Amino acid sequence: MDTTVLSLATLEINELEAFVELMFLAAYTDGKVTDVERAAFRGQVVKNTHGHLDDALVDQILRNIEEQMADVDHDRQLAQIRDRLADPRKRRAALAHAARVVLADGVLAVSEVEFMERAAAALDEAPETVAEMLREAASA
- The reported pLDDT for the residue numbered 48 is 67
Output the CA–CA distances (angstroms, integers) from residue 5 to 27, 38, 41, 104, 113, in the order listed.
22, 22, 17, 20, 23
- The reported pLDDT for the residue numbered 6 is 58
- The reported pLDDT for the residue numbered 89 is 92
pTM above 0.75, yes or no: yes
Output the CA–CA distances (angstroms, integers) from residue 17 to 20, 29, 87, 114, in the order listed.
5, 18, 15, 22
- In the chain, the domains with their CATH numbers are 12-139 (1.10.3680.10)
| Alpha-carbon gap, residue 109 to 93, rounded angstroms | 22
Q: Pick the more confident residue, 97 or 16.
A: 97
How many alpha carbons lie under 13 Å from residue 127 in its C-beta half-sphere? 1
As a whole number, mean pLDDT of residues 42-55 equals 69
Residues in the chain, total:
140
Contact at 8 Å (CB) between 98 and 104? Answer: no
Most confident of 21-25, 98-102, 130-134: 130-134
As a whole number, mean pLDDT of residues 109-118 equals 92
Contact at 8 Å (CB) between 127 and 121? Answer: yes
Give the contacts of 48 (CB within 8 A, at least 6 positions apart).
7, 8, 9, 97
| Alpha-carbon gap, residue 82 to 87, rounded angstroms | 9
As a whole number, mean pLDDT of residues 85-104 equals 91
Flag whether pLDDT at 66 surpasses 60: yes
Q: Pick the more confident residue, 27 or 3.
A: 27
- The reported pLDDT for the residue numbered 69 is 67
As a whole number, mean pLDDT of residues 62-71 equals 73
As a whole number, mean pLDDT of residues 70-89 equals 90
Q: Pick the more confident residue, 106 or 87.
A: 87
Contact at 8 Å (CB) between 101 and 23? Answer: yes
